Amino acid sequence: MSIIDNLEKMLEAGGDNALLRYSLGIEYQREGKPEAAAAHLAAAVEQDAEYSAAWKAYGKVLGELGRDEEATQAFRTGIEVAELNGDIQAAKEMKVFLKRILKKSGKSA
């Protein structure tokens, strides 16, 4: 049984929470299934809007899917959340990802 199978089983058993959704999102992204990853990461940030790691992963997978406007918004929200929570490293990383997306789309920060 795979990690995803175990996590999905936990979700089916009613253990729905931001950490579980984040974990599923990360595993689906690793498996090359960005649509499934995006759905779970969206649920993670919906359940816990202050989860900066989930915002970072969500922005990355949205960027991977070419959903640049949504990725931009996810990174901006994630940066704000990370800075408010003192998660400086996550904020720095998201700023780099945000700059890349903006550069790709010809926009500025």
All structural domains of the chain, each given as residue ranges with its CATH number in brackets, are 3-104 (1.25.40.10)
Q: Is 79 helix (H, G, I), strand (E, B) or coil?
A: helix
The pLDDT value given to residue 44: 98
pLDDT at residue 1, rounded to an integer: 85
Task: Give the predicted TM-score (pTM) of the model.
Answer: 0.94
pLDDT at 16: 97
Task: Give the pair of three-digit tokens for residue 75.
Answer: 């990174």
Q: Please give the pLDDT value at position 13.
A: 96
Q: Which residue has the tokens 């990690």?
A: 3
Which sign, positive or negative, has the C-alpha torsion 21, 27, 33, 38? positive
Q: What is the pLDDT of residue 107?
A: 75
pLDDT given for residue 106 in this prediction: 81
**Which residue positions in the chain have pLDDT lower than 50?**
none
